[in-house]
Amino acid sequence: MTVLRLATTDDLAAVLALLKDSGLPYQDIDITRPIEFLVATTGQAMLGAIGLERFQDNGLLRSLVVRPESRSTGLGTQLANAMENNARKANVKVLYLLTTTAADFFARRGYEVIARSEAPLTLQSTAEFSALCPSQAMCMRRTLT
């Protein structure tokens, strides 16, 4: 049975390994960073994760990732739904993300493509925006209701 839950510090190494193995940014993530992760687990296995970095009423979604053998099962949708709900509960009004591979997935969820320059300056100054994600990554935004 797959369980979605907030990650603990004990999960950090597995989350980082999953991100690294999937070719997603992980270099700026450590125990001191205010990034909240939701993880999907079954037993001891980490199947997927998604992160949220909050900046007042804006949020930066970080690296929705699902292990290859768990893709096309709806797990990515479950993780995205759960994180969007957590963001709403935390009074996040607008979510942003950068992606090179999942624009269609997020567009179906109501995210719109915007210029990077339209994102708040606090997000633009993050390592994700300024160094880790390539310039060709699409910037997307969704207003939460």
Given a cut of 80, is residue 87 above it in pLDDT?
Answer: yes
pLDDT tens digit sequence for 24-61: 888 888 767 668 999 999 988 999 999 999 999 999 99
Whole-number Å distance between alpha carbons of 58 and 78: 21
Residue boundaries of the structural domains of the chain = 3-143
**Phi, psi dihedrals of residue 104, rounded to the nearest 5°:** -65, -45
Beta bridge partners of 82: none
Rounded Cα distance, 51 and 61, in Å: 6
Q: pLDDT at position 127, please?
A: 85
Kindly report whether the global pTM for this prediction surpasses the value 0.75. Answer: yes
Cβ proximity of 87 and 130 under 8 Å:
no
In this structure, which CATH number among 3.40.630.30, 3.30.1360.120, 3.30.70.580, 1.20.1250.20 belongs to the domain 3-143?
3.40.630.30
- Each residue's pLDDT tens digit, 131-143: 888 888 999 999 9
